[in-house]
Amino acid sequence: MDPRQPSWLDRNEFPFATHTFAHPDGRMHYVDEGEGPIILFVHGTPDWSFGFRHLIKAFRSTHRCVAVDHLGFGLSDKPRLADLTVQAHARRLQAFIDNLGLQDVTLVVTDFGGGIGLQHALERPGNVKRIVLYNTWMWALNDDERFARPARMMRGWLGRLAYLRFNFSVNVMMPTAYGDRKVLTPALHTQYKQVFPTPASREPLHKLVKEMLDAGPFWAAQWKEVDRLRTIPTLIAWGMKDRFFPPDLLEKWRQALPHATVRTFPEAGHFVHEEAPQELVQAIRTFLIEH
């Protein structure tokens, strides 16, 4: 057992060495497995690098698989006063990429990881060889009441109580987002609960849900530049039973990136990498071979 890894961590599921990126805002944990062309995985909320373990295991024999935990998430530090906006997460990811000298990456993004990770593709499209995106977005949500209404509720005192006291994001929203809740076994769920064991540790979750509205200008600026992604081979994969990110969001991506390859997973919900890992691996492997 790596002394830097917690005792609750399931090492059979997550048998990876611990690495640390010392950012001025705080220490960031990351996985770095295998050799070869680089696949960079960028998670959302309440996820962390653990969620990508099936993909890492599948590709580390042929690729260098890198998955960083955003500050405040996973095994990274959770500093109270750090900037935990989407824009700050994107800046730290860029610093991480520069620090490791990651070049010609295949970028795999999901959930909030879309707006965070795709900023690198917009700023440095020449460094991104391919994009894989699923159940994510990169546009302002303020005018979409499906997102704006619950976001307004969650940013108030009651939402803060739910997030900090009752770990609402992990205990309620996460299982609701699964196409089949039985896939999220108690043992698996523990790996997500334990990274947010106290009310103070859950502050990053609440700050990020407030970004659903607060990051609107940042995402609007990104979406204006979405055409810059059209030169990059892209795979759009989508869990069709996602209760929070329904198929019309897939259609928005399809229209914006008409060159993209599209694969759908009829029985998967929001967490495709947990719910249909082998099917997702096969889709990505085929995409890598074709591009």
- What is the per-residue pLDDT across 8-63, written as a single tens digit (0 to 9) for each? 999 999 999 999 999 999 999 999 999 999 999 999 999 999 999 999 999 999 99
pLDDT tops 70 at residue 3? no
The answer to whether 110 touches 133, Cβ cutoff 8 Å, is: yes
Phi and psi torsions of 234, nearest 5°:
-135, 140
- Indicate the pTM of the whole model: 0.97
**The CA-based dihedral angle spanning residues 109, 113, 117, 118, taken in that order and rounded to the nearest 10 degrees:** 70
Tell me the one-letter amino acid at 48: W
- The DSSP letter of residue 70 is P
Choosing from 111, 120, 206, 273, which is the catalytic residue? 111
- Choose the catalytic residue: 25, 47, 242, 273: 242
Give pLDDT tens digits for 186-243: 999 999 999 999 999 999 999 999 999 999 999 999 999 999 999 999 999 999 999 9
248 is catalytic: no
The Cα–Cα gap between 150 and 138 comes to: 18
Contact 223, 199 (CB under 8 A): no
- Rounded to an integer, the average pLDDT of 103-110 is 98
Residue 29 annotated among the catalytic residues of the structure: no
Residue 70 CB partners (closer than 8 Å, separation 6+): 28, 43, 48, 76, 89, 92, 93, 116, 204
> Between the CA of residue 182 and those of 118, 177, 268, 274, what are the distances in Å?
32, 12, 12, 12
Residue 270 is among the residues annotated as catalytic for this protein: yes
The identity of residue 111, as a single letter, is D
CA distance 251 to 72: 32
In the chain, what are the domain boundaries?
Answer: 19-140+217-290
Does CATH place domain 19-140+217-290 in 3.40.50.1820?
yes
What confidence score (pLDDT) does residue 1 get? 43
pLDDT digits (tens, 9 = 90+) for 129-185: 999 999 999 999 999 999 999 999 998 899 999 999 999 999 999 999 999 999 999
Residue 80 has pLDDT above 90, yes or no: no
Amino acid letter, 57? K
How far apart, in whole angstroms, are the C-alpha atoms of residue 274 and residue 242?
13
Rounded Cα–Cα distance for residues 237 and 272 (Å): 8
Q: What angle do CA 185, 167, 11 make, to 5 degrees?
A: 45
DSSP state of 268: -
Helices (H) and strands (E) in the chain, counts: 13, 8
Output DSSP code: residue 62. Answer: T
Nearest-angstrom CA–CA distance, 197 and 268: 28
